[in-house]
Amino acid sequence: MKASARNQFEGTVNEVLVGTVNAEVHVGLKGGETIVASITKDSIEALGIKAGMGVLALVKAPQVIVVTDFGGYKLSARNQLQGTVTDVKPGKVNAEIDIELKGGEKIAATVTNDSVETLGLAKGKTATAAFKAGAVILAVKG
């Protein structure tokens, strides 16, 4: 599948929690991390999503927030994947940050060049990629 979302994770549905309107889908990645997606109940039914099936979780890079120090705070973002910065690609205004997760998968984030400097983002630095469950799009093979 070709898509504009930079982050594409193949995973297995571990759990589906269906509410009145929305559902939460817990997708297990190969490195043991879990991505939580919040999608509509109608999408669950239309895509036939159930535990044990393979899915593709897509997240656009601008939806990913990079955190290097939580300073004692907790975030409401369900998805918080810790890893190591493997690349910083600066542009005129923004930079792309690649973070390698423990399973070897990478997640890309787009942040301002000011944020790169403020956070001290550089190859080898530990960082957490955070994004809300609503930022995740799920795809299944038809």
Average pLDDT, the chain: 96
CATH topology of domain 61-131: OB fold (Dihydrolipoamide Acetyltransferase, E2P) (2.40.50)
Could you report the per-residue pLDDT of 26-67, keeping only the tens digit for each?
A: 999 999 999 999 999 999 999 999 999 999 999 999 999 999
3-class SS of residue 52: coil
112 bridge partner residues: 94
Largest CA distance in the chain: 45
Rounded mean pLDDT of 72-89? 97
CATH of domain 7-59+133-139: 2.40.50.100
Where are the CATH 2.40.50.100 domain residues in the chain? 7-59+133-139, 61-131
pTM of the model: 0.94
Q: Per-residue confidence at 142, pLDDT binned at 50, 70, 90?
A: confident
> Are the beta carbons of 129 and 66 closer than 8 angstroms?
yes
